[in-house]
Structure 1
Amino acid sequence: MTVSANTQAILLLTARFGKSDSGANKPLTPKEYGRFAEWLRFQSLTPERLLSGDLQELLQGWQDKTVTVERVGALLDRGSALALSMEKWLRAGLWVMTRSDPDYPRRLKQHLRSDSPAVLFGCGNRALLNSGGLAVIGSRKVSQDDLVYSSRIGEMASNAGGSIVSGGARGVDETAMLGALGAEGTAVGVLADSLLRACSSGKYRRALMENNLVLVSPFNPEAGFNTGNAMARNKYIYCLADAALAIHSGKKGGTWSGAQEDLKRGWVPLWVKQTDDPEAGNKALIAAGAMEAPSDIGAVSIETFFQVANEPSRSDEDLFSAAPSSVGVVPTEIGAPESHAPLADALTAVEEDRPVVSGGDLGAIVSDT
């Protein structure tokens, strides 16, 4: 795999390479990078341009409380750390995707706008990131009945020609994904941690080799579990799908907060499995506006999850536009391509890739800062 100079610059600005990336010079958040990228676009600058020349001169006129010129300079000065990390990741078969790549998930840009991740790390069939599907989410510790239900949902989605989108965590997430893969279907795993380890796991090896699986993360591929990252990745699971099914939720935690956020933002239709478990938050989510999914797997129709049409929303607007949109994304079948209405993506304009260099040239490129 090759990595362009522009991708390297975006990585330097937004990615973590170790525990030392903290404090005043921590990598830019999606929102911070969104502001910075928009300003660069108006200056006819690309991130790549910041790797050479006088940074103070290039960024003359840029003012931001948190994204200071000094912070940008410190982040761009991490060339050695980037080179070492990239060499390790590329050797392990990982790839890196930025918002300028043509196969970057369009749904993330549509739904999250400036909050869409600047960089995605992954392994496997990246084309699956634009295939949509059913997001299946749930708690890590659930009953055996819920695990059977999760596995069968994965199988049924596969048999219907759809993909499963989930978080890869043990319990509902992993079981639904493995259910789909076991039925020769496809799955998208949005991981909050340990991407590098997951990509070499035996349970996923065959599916990765057969292009039936993609594992992706916006976080450092070697990062361990972090509650904040786990919460942050929830929105990516919903936004990569056409509809969502919560099989079991507690009354707090990741499944609960992610479902509430989807109900608030209206990203995709949310279904919640009926349950009599008094410790579950399922009934509360249904009362808050989620639709009821049958508790009996025999009564489930996968197609039903996709028959609720979304009203046109801000998710279809230009990434930085406040103008109303008249185009909605309405899936007509499981895995159907999303609407490709024109979307003037400001971030893509500023991040357009330049001539490609090999992974072995990483150190030479970034050392010019």
Structure 2
Amino acid sequence: MNTQNTQNTQYNENTQAVLLLSTFFSKPKKDEARPLTAIEYGRFARWLHEFNFTPSSLFHQFDEVLSKWKDPKGKITADRLSEILGRKAAMGLALEKWQRAGVWVITRQDSEYPQLLKKQLRHISPPVFFGVGNKALLQNGGLAVIGSRGIDNIDEEFTQNIAIQAAQENINIVSGAARGVDETAMLASLNAGGTAIGIMADSLLKAATASKWRKHLQNEQLVLISSFYPEAGFSVGNAMARNKYIYTAANAALVVRADEGKGGTWAGAKENNENQWVPLFVKQQSDASGNIALLNNGAIPLELQSGAELWLANTLASAQKVDSNNSQPNNLNLFE
């Protein structure tokens, strides 16, 4: 296979190849070849690098690359690669549509890619993020605020107050932009003059023009990103996969409300504990079964404080110092 240059000239050949390898451009049809998953792409990309190839080598040296490549899992075949690399026209049309809405693309090779996430997840980092808003915020780390979609007035007020405090202390909020705790935390911070990263599992294109985000995108207080194509609908699998990106794009995490043994909040907190990505705080005054279980399992209790200057930053920094043997020391810079 000797693929010609793709039609969209805004992106270099390597970016185009990564997009073709890893991205849907529309709702998938039943019998078409699926792009590589993040894990599959990581496996293939490591092999390409080891043999001094790049993703764009597939445009010009397809037969040579495939004569050497043998997937140990048997999933990444020549036929599959040929089919997904042949979607040039579909990619061009999709990118043109998304660009009109202000959507941009960054790959793992780009300096704008969130470096904390890349450092933590390494070869299983998403090959591509689509986004809108201020790319520079992706390097700011911050406090990941996570919780259930259904919250009561007490949890809502707690979430708002934490986010407002974070804004006052110049601590970026990282969350999933979903209804409930995520959206409450992000909007409270933004409306208080703070900043936020929203890592979405679906519907980025709709969010790019949504009235609740528009002002903050224009003010460069906000960036919304997704590792899934911008028109992707909601799926439980994508939402679960997205959890790790929220944690690893931040320096510390706070669970406001979780149900033990079920839901994305519980699954994400459990995954963070297993991998020791960031210190985990949990709202202490709560009857939620997940909060109680996480606290019993070593999570750090957090409640609102009053009167102490920079109390939130100092609390987060203290936890990171304790956790520094299992975390990245560079993360301390945000809170010191």
Q: Normalising to structure 1: TM-score of the pair?
A: 0.83
Equivalents in 2 of 1:276, 1:282: separation in Å? 7
CA distance in 1, matches of 2:217, 2:331: 29
Q: Is the 8 A contact 1:243 1:306 kept in 2?
A: no
**Kept in 2: contact 1:24–1:71 (CA 8 A):** no
**Conservation of the 8 A alpha-carbon contact between 2:141 and 2:334:** no
Aligned match of 2:297 = 288
Q: How far did residue 299 of structure 1 move?
A: 8.5
Which AA in structure 2 matches 1:305?
L
- Cross-structure match for 2:17: 9
Q: State the one-letter code of the partner of 1:283.
A: I
State the Cα distance separating 1:31 from its structure 2 match.
1.4
**Distance in 2 between the 1:299 and 1:122 partners?**
38
Partner SS for 1:263:
helix
Structure 1 gap ranges (5+): 317-327, 337-369
Counterpart in the other structure of 1:259: 269
1:139 aligned partner? 148
Q: Match of 2:68?
A: 61
Q: Give the one of 105, 115, 119 matched to 1:96.
A: 105
Alignment correspondent of 1:359: none
2:47 counterpart letter in structure 1: W
Distance 2:15 2:78 in 1: 20
- Picking from 22, 27, 30, the partner of 1:19 is 27
Alignment equivalent of 2:199, drawn from 180, 190, 194: 190
CA distance in 2: counterparts of 1:98 and 1:231, whole angstroms: 21
Secondary structure of 1:307's match?
helix
* 8 A Cα contact 1:189 1:214, kept in partner: yes
Task: Give me the whole-angstrom Cα distance separating, in 2, the residues matched to 1:105 and 1:146.
Answer: 29
Amino acid at match of 1:266: Q
Cross-structure match for 1:305:
316
User: SS at the partner of 1:244?
Assistant: strand
How has the CA–CA distance of structure 1 residues 24 and 196 changed in structure 2, closer, same or farther, with 3 Å as cutoff? closer
The answer to whether the 8 Å contact 1:149/1:297 transfers is no
Q: 1:223 aligns with which of 227, 232, 240?
A: 232
Q: How many residue pairs get matched? A: 320
For the residue of structure 2 that corresponds to 1:260, the secondary structure is helix
1:47 aligns with 2:47: no
Letter in 1 for 2:126: P
Match of 1:205 in 2: 214
C-alpha deviation, 1:226, in angstroms: 0.5
**Partner residue of 2:4?**
none
Which TM-score applies when normalising by structure 2?
0.90
Q: CA separation in 2, counterparts of 1:229 and 1:181?
A: 26
| Match of residue 148 from structure 1 | 157
Q: In the alignment, which residue of structure 1 is the partner of 2:84?
A: 75
Q: Structure 2: which 5+ residue stretches go unaligned?
A: 1-8
Q: CA deviation at 1:261?
A: 0.8
Distance 2:60 2:175 in 1: 40
Indicate how the Cα distance of structure 1 residues 312 and 59 shifts in structure 2: closer, same or farther if over 3 A, else same: farther
Q: Which residue of 1 aligns with 2:285?
A: 275
Aligned AA (2:228): F
Greater relative contact order (Cα < 8 A, sep 6+): 1
Residues 149 and 297 (structure 1 numbering): CA distance in 2 closer, same or farther, change over 3 Å? farther
Match of 1:129 in 2: 138
The 3 A distance-change label for structure 1 pair 33 and 23 is farther
Cα separation, partners in 2 of 1:297 and 1:248, compared to 1, 3 Å: farther
Supply the AA of the counterpart residue of 2:68.
G
Post-superposition offset of 1:312? 4.0
CA gap of 1:146–1:118, structure 2 versus 1, over 3 A, is: same
Structure-2 change in CA distance of 1:30 and 1:22 (3 Å): farther
CA distance in 2, matches of 1:330, 1:9: 32
- Equivalent-residue separation in structure 2 for 1:114 and 1:227 (angstroms): 23
Aligned equivalents of 2:224, 2:45: Cα separation in 1: 27
